[in-house]
Amino acid sequence: MSKLTHIDEQGQAKMVDVGRKDVTQRMATARGAVFMEAATLELIVAGQMNKGDVFTVAQLAGIMGAKKTSDLIPLCHPLPVNHIDVVCTADPEAQAIQIEASVRVGGKTGVEMEALTAVSVAALTIYDMAKAVDRAMRIGDIRLVYKAGGKSGEYRAPEIDS
């Protein structure tokens, strides 16, 4: 097991010093889902939610969340991201909205937390927009599925085909 980079010799939390790292192209993709009643998903797909277009608002919220990651996660570095893509897709078979977020940066540290935050904020936004009709919705399966760049190189989640 690797040494935890955000803990010092005394066991205290610390921000990693990335000052001497090289700037490289880095990318991360995360996925998650919001599970719901079939009728709720049908309303969302039909654009019949009182709060508006759930897909568009969740996409924008995910983008905003990724940009605010360092304000939310105490030891994350603020990053000038180059690109954020958030896609929300209806999955009738799973009775869910699947969320995928990809983030790219030319920087000294990775963007895994930005991708994970984008998915999380998009999922919370979907819940907020549909809770009036389905309070039993469940947010889950949020995970990193891919990262590239930096010293540790490429990571692909074992169960992910693409």
pLDDT of residue 62: 98
pLDDT of residue 13: 72
pLDDT (mean) for 25-40: 97
Q: With b meaning 16 or more CB within 10 Å and e meaning fewer, what string describes 17-31?
A: eeeeeeeeebbbbbb
Task: Report how far Cα 79 is from the mean position of its chain's Cα atoms.
Answer: 15
Count CB neighbours of 12 within 10 A: 8
Check if 128 is active-site.
yes
pTM summary value: 0.90
The residues spanned by each domain of the chain are: 24-149
Q: Give 114-144 pLDDT, tens digit per residue.
A: 999 999 999 999 999 999 999 999 999 999 9
User: Helix crossing, 112-130 with 54-67: angle to 10°?
Assistant: 150
Give 86 or 15, the one with higher predicted confidence: 86
Catalytic residue among 8, 128, 134, 161: 128
Q: Which fold has domain 24-149?
A: Alpha-Beta Plaits (3.30.70)
pLDDT of residue 159: 78
Looking at the DSSP bridge assignments, the partners of residue 33 are 98, 140
pLDDT of residue 48: 95
